[in-house]
Amino acid sequence: MMTKVKATAKYVRVSPSKVRQLTPLIVGQSVAEADRILRFADKGAAAPLRKVLASAVANAENNDGLDPDELIVSAAFADEGPTLKRYQPRALGRAYRIRKRTSHITVVVSPAEEN
């Protein structure tokens, strides 16, 4: 039986493109190695992605009774959330639009032997 456990963080105030730079680094890695990669990644999006990874591991351990040491990251992705639209005043009465993007971050973990 394929056991896949996921965790999602919605409306995270970081652009999806910035999260997508980190997701290929952790897919296919063990949970401990993925956490290590994110801890030392020099990107602001690593902190929320690391929190979602920890949440997925906690879900697997507490809800499904899986051993956290045997889990690997089987998928990680960031979808676009709603964009907050703001305006920056400019010269001669003009206004430039600022798009503050949000993302929905999802991390899926599964036992290593099933992949």
Q: What residues make up the domain containing 42?
A: 5-114
> Could you report the per-residue pLDDT of 14-37, keeping only the tens digit for each?
999 999 999 999 999 999 999 999
Query: What number of H helices and E strands is found in the chain?
Result: 4, 5
The whole-angstrom separation of Cα 68 and Cα 70 is 5
* Predicted model pTM: 0.91
Q: Considering only the C-alpha atoms of the chain, give the largest distance between any 2 of them, rounded to a whole number of Å.
A: 65
pLDDT tens digits, 45-82:
999 999 999 999 999 999 999 999 999 999 999 999 99
- Residue 114 confidence (pLDDT) above 60: no
Domain count, the chain: 1
CATH code for position 14: 3.90.470.10
The β-bridge relationship of strands 103-111 and 71-80 is antiparallel
Write down the pLDDT at residue 23.
Answer: 95
Beta strands in the chain (DSSP E): 5-12, 71-80, 84-89, 95-100, 103-111
Q: 109 with 92: CB under 8 angstroms? A: no
CA–CA dist 72, 105 (Å, integer): 17
